[in-house]
């Protein structure tokens, strides 16, 4: 037998040398310079100082605040994660001028200041000074509340045992009441917020209606008294006294009718010359009577039908002959619009959002709903304004999934308020960048909130310093993944020519830094 010959063929042989360690200067937040440029566009550093959130020594608070916002975008869930991220991320070290922030400094910043509502007020005021973000006649303000689970301390005054609508269980949670602006141009950004506090001994309890009215008054204080805005809300906020209060603040309102809402239809008196009578009719009956008109109006898409001659009854205090106050029935005309195929009712997320068991369900008949508003003269605008209510639901979803709204486990009230105030600031910057891109890109290349966060701000990049640079300062180049190429126009517009942050124009010469920086 012939021997079997085994032959091993090796194309190339590579020599493997001993491992070495090198700072590769990479980053997971390559869009941070654009985030900083937008931060400086709206003067948020200056607003923090004017609010009184500043200190005399150490790292400036406005620098820590931006670092916290960047940490939210990078999905850092704790103070330790944030300071570790700031110390390791190459782009953030470059923007922070290699100034380190300790965990104790970050914690003291979040727990040591209580004027976050004042900062929110100044942020909203500053947005009203920019022509791109200023609210205009007919824009919509969405009002809603959301639960933030917080099972780590049960004796916090603003923590309560509440029903989670999506999970169908009761949980220890914060109840956040918020306003969200939706402009006709497409710009969106969060406005004010407040936390509901459970009743305590010696402290009068505020209802969610009180909190909603309070933040709406704060909004009105930043606007002209003549500017009329829509307040779009779900049926939970349908309360006649609350609605009258909105009208006194020069707000228009729109909501869904509840199943037990009582309406009135005006009919002529029994004999000529007698006073008109008001006949009761419930919302479901109104829908049933007009359902065939809705079906005949359209075979697909949203369809609406204005129902004339509909009134709501409420009581007004009036003085009698002796000066005593009496309650008088007043019938107020309202816009009642029957609708079918609302976007929120056809969205998958809508099935996860329902009211608690003791909440009266919406009036419905075979998929039709009834919208009501104080604007009898513009029924088409009533439907358009209510459709934008769903945007605040998306705000809560994005804030929880992408910015860590539910990741604040602190038991300090200042920390919780700082977390939400700065998260709303981060959301403002993200929403503005999304709108800026979509306006130029068009409908086909429009991006979502998640794409802006993941492909623009949270994109990975590598930093290099060209060997041909002979200037005194480093010239740094950032190499992005091709996924960020769709944001090229946005990068061209907001990419700063120099690094650093302060109260100045970053494109000007700032080699001599102020002592407070």
Contact by Cβ (8 Å): 14, 89: no
Q: Give residue-wise pLDDT tens across range 466-493.
A: 655 444 455 666 677 777 777 888 888 8
Residue among 112, 69, 148, 35 at smallest CA distance from 397: 148
**Could you tell me if 272 and 375 lie in one domain?**
yes
Q: What is the per-residue pLDDT for 137?
A: 92
**Which of 368, 386, 404 is the last residue before a domain boundary?**
386
Is 410 among the domain residues? no
Q: What is the per-residue pLDDT for 329?
A: 84
**Could you tell me if 287 and 380 lie in one domain?**
yes
133, two tokens: 């973000």
**Could you tell me if 270 and 343 lie in one domain?**
yes
Q: What is the per-residue pLDDT for 355?
A: 47
Query: Residue 258: helix, strand or coil by DSSP?
Result: strand
**Could you tell me if 428 and 325 lie in one domain?**
no
**Could you tell me if 446 and 363 lie in one domain?**
no
Please name the residue that has the structure tokens 């310093």: 465
CA–CA separation, 70 and 137 (whole Å):
33
Is 472 among the domain residues? yes
Is 257 among the domain residues? yes
Contact by Cβ (8 Å): 484, 456: yes
| CA distance readout (Å), 391 to 48, 181, 276, 379, 468 | 28, 9, 42, 21, 50
CA–CA separation, 453 and 456 (whole Å):
6
Q: What is the per-residue pLDDT for 509?
A: 46
**Could you tell me if 364 and 459 lie in one domain?**
no
**Could you tell me if 375 and 257 lie in one domain?**
yes
Q: Give residue-wise pLDDT tens across range 159-176.
A: 888 888 777 888 899 999
Contact by Cβ (8 Å): 188, 391: yes
Is 437 among the domain residues? yes
Is 8 among the domain residues? no
Is 224 among the domain residues? no
142 — phi, psi (to 5°)? -90, 135
Is 229 among the domain residues? no
**296 lies in which domain range?**
253-386
**Could you tell me if 376 and 449 lie in one domain?**
no
Is 57 among the domain residues? yes
**Could you tell me if 373 and 438 lie in one domain?**
no
139 sits in the region (left: phi over 0; alpha: psi -120 to 50; else beta) called beta
> What is the number of structural domains in the chain?
2
**Could you tell me if 329 and 423 lie in one domain?**
no
**Could you tell me if 377 and 444 lie in one domain?**
no
In this prediction, the residues of the chain whose per-residue pLDDT falls under 70 are 1-12, 21-24, 201-202, 299, 321-323, 346-359, 465-478, 499-517
**Could you tell me if 424 and 364 lie in one domain?**
no
Q: How many CB atoms lie within 10 A of CB 138?
A: 16
342, two tokens: 């609302």
């Amino acid at each position: 037998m012939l021997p079997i010959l085994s032959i091993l063929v090796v194309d190339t042989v590579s020599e493997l040398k001993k491992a070495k360690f090198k700072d590769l200067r990479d980053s997971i937040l390559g869009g941070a310079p654009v985030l900083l440029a937008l931060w400086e566009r709206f003067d948020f550093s200056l607003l923090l100082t004017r609010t009184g959130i500043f200190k005399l020594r150490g790292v400036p608070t406005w620098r820590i605040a931006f670092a916290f916002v960047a940490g939210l975008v990078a999905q850092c869930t704790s103070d330790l994660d944030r300071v570790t991220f700031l110390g390791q991320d190459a782009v953030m070290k470059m923007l922070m001028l290699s100034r380190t922030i300790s965990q104790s400094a970050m914690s003291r910043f979040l727990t040591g200041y209580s004027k976050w509502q004042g900062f929110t007020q100044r942020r909203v005021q500053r947005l009203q000074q920019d022509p791109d973000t200023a609210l205009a006649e007919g824009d919509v303000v969405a009002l809603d509340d959301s639960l933030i689970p917080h099972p780590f301390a049960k004796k916090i005054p603003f923590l309560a045992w509440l029903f989670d609508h999506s999970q169908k269980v009761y949980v220890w949670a914060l109840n956040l009441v918020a306003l969200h602006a939706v402009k006709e141009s497409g710009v969106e950004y969060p406005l004010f917020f407040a936390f509901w506090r459970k009743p305590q001994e010696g402290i009068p309890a505020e209802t969610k209606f009180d909190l909603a009215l309070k933040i709406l008054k704060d909004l009105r204080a930043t606007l002209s008294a003549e500017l009329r805005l829509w307040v779009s809300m779900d049926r939970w906020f349908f309360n006649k006294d609350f609605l009258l209060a909105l009208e006194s603040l020069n707000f228009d309102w729109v909501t869904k009718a509840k199943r037990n809402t009582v309406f009135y239809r005006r009919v002529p008196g029994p004999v000529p010359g007698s006073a008109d009578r008001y006949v009761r009719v419930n919302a479901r009956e109104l829908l049933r009577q007009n359902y065939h008109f809705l079906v005949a109006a359209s075979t697909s898409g949203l369809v609406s039908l204005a129902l004339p001659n509909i009134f709501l009854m409420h009581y007004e205090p009036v003085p009698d002959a002796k000066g005593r106050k009496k309650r008088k029935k007043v019938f107020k005309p309202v816009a009642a619009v029957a609708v079918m195929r609302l976007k929120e009712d056809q969205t998958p997320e809508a099935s996860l959002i329902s009211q608690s068991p003791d909440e009266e369900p919406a009036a419905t008949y075979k998929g039709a709903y009834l919208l009501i508003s104080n604007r009898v003269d513009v029924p088409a605008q009533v439907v358009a304004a209510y459709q934008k209510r769903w945007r605040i639901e998306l705000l809560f979803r994005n804030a929880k999934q992408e910015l860590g709204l539910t990741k604040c486990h602190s038991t300090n009230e200042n920390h919780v308020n700082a977390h939400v105030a700065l998260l709303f600031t981060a959301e403002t910057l993200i929403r503005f960048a999304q709108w800026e891109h979509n306006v130029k890109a068009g409908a086909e290349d429009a991006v979502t909130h998640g794409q802006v966060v993941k492909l623009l701000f949270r994109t990975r990049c590598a930093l290099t310093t060209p060997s041909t640079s002979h200037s005194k300062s480093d010239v740094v180049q950032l190499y992005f993944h091709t996924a960020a190429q769709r944001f090229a126009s946005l990068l061209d517009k907001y990419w700063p020519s120099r690094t650093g942050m302060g109260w100045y124009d970053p494109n000007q010469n700032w080699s001599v830094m102020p002592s407070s920086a």
